[in-house]
């Protein structure tokens, strides 16, 4: 595991962190780094970096909720850092006390999109289950823009895995509504978004509601594409994600 110290954001979180010994029998025996660090995994023969946030009071004897965060198109790359600097990462930086959970932030390569890289999402979840004492009944998938699309897509393909889905300014396939209706979903979008039209989120919310799903759609009037700062900066949104249990 490589801890990144160059990015100011990572440094701030690591200052409040430390190391604890992971005693979960299914996890690695190496010390667990608290705060935000980068780790590596191999997917399809390629080594990829991803970000992980671990609370400062992490105790391997206790089971923890897991949030998987999928970034947008602008954060694609291979440094393991960019995707921690937009969306849920800054929200953790500002208010770490709101996140008594493990947060995993995989990074999609520049040549790909999440809808085509379910393998990266799957491996990041698998690594998290191996490395930390995760409560498998409390895994939540969320993402913004391209990651919102990925949340709809991967969530529909693996609906039984998640306690909840929370796509932000992304679009999905309304024909997936009967499947997606099996999991609680909260959707967020800016009403003035010119990059990903809010009509796409509206269509998903309407279709899932008709299918009998537990879904609520929040649209921010006058807000453009960046609806993620409002969403992840809202303590009630984080509380809702962490309260979900399948």
Tens digit of each residue's pLDDT (9 = 90 or more) over 155-197: 999 999 999 999 999 999 999 999 999 999 999 999 999 999 9
User: What average pLDDT does range 14-32 have in this prediction?
Assistant: 47
pLDDT-derived band at 32, boundaries 50, 70, 90: confident
Task: Give Cβ neighbours of residue 78 (< 8 Å, ≥ 6 apart).
Answer: 48, 49, 107, 109, 110
Express each pLDDT in 129-161 by its tens digit: 999 999 999 999 999 999 999 999 999 999 999
- Cβ atoms within 10 Å, residue 48: 20
Place of tokens 């990041």: 124
Task: Give Cβ neighbours of residue 192 (< 8 Å, ≥ 6 apart).
Answer: 221, 222, 223, 224
Which domains does the chain carry? 8-243 (3.40.50.1820)
pTM of the model: 0.89
pLDDT of residue 150: 98
pLDDT at 23 over 50: no
CA 117 to chain centre: 15
Report DSSP letters for 50-62, one per residue.
Answer: EEEEE-TT--TTS
Q: Which of 225, 187, 234, 226 is nearest to 91 (CA)?
A: 234
**Exposure class string for 141-178: b at 16+ Cβ within 10 A, else e:** bbbbbbbbbbbbbbbbebbebbbbbbbbbbbbbbebbe
What distance in Å separates the CA atoms of residue 13 and residue 54, rounded to the nearest whole number? 10
Characterize the bridge pairing of strands 64-70 and 134-144: parallel
CA 227 to chain centre: 15
What distance in Å separates the CA atoms of residue 183 and residue 161, rounded to the nearest whole number? 10
Place of tokens 């024909």: 175
What distance in Å separates the CA atoms of residue 202 and residue 197, rounded to the nearest whole number? 9
């Amino acid at each position: 595991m490589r801890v990144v110290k160059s990015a100011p954001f990572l440094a701030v979180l690591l200052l409040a962190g430390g190391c604890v010994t992971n005693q979960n029998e299914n996890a690695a025996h190496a010390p667990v780094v608290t705060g935000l660090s980068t780790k590596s995994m191999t997917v399809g023969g390629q080594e990829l970096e991803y970000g992980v946030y671990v609370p400062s009071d992490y105790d391997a004897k206790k089971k923890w909720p897991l949030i998987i965060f999928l970034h947008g198109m602008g954060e694609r790359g291979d440094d393991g850092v960019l995707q921690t600097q937009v969306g849920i990462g800054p929200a953790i930086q500002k208010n770490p006390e709101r996140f008594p959970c493990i947060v995993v932030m995989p990074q999609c390569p520049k040549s790909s999109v999440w809808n085509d890289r379910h393998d990266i999402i799957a491996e990041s979840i698998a690594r998290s289950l191996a490395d930390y004492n995760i409560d498998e009944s409390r895994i939540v998938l969320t993402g913004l823009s391209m990651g919102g699309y990925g949340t709809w897509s991967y969530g529909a393909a693996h609906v039984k895995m998640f306690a909840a889905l929370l796509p932000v300014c992304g679009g999905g396939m309304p024909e997936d509504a009967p499947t997606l209706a099996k999991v609680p979903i909260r959707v967020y979008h800016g009403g003035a978004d010119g990059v990903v039209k809010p009509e796409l989120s509206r269509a998903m919310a309407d279709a899932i509601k008709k299918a009998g799903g537990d879904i609520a759609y929040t649209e921010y009037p006058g807000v453009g594409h960046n609806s993620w700062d409002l969403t992840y900066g809202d303590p009630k949104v984080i509380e809702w994600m962490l309260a979900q249990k399948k």
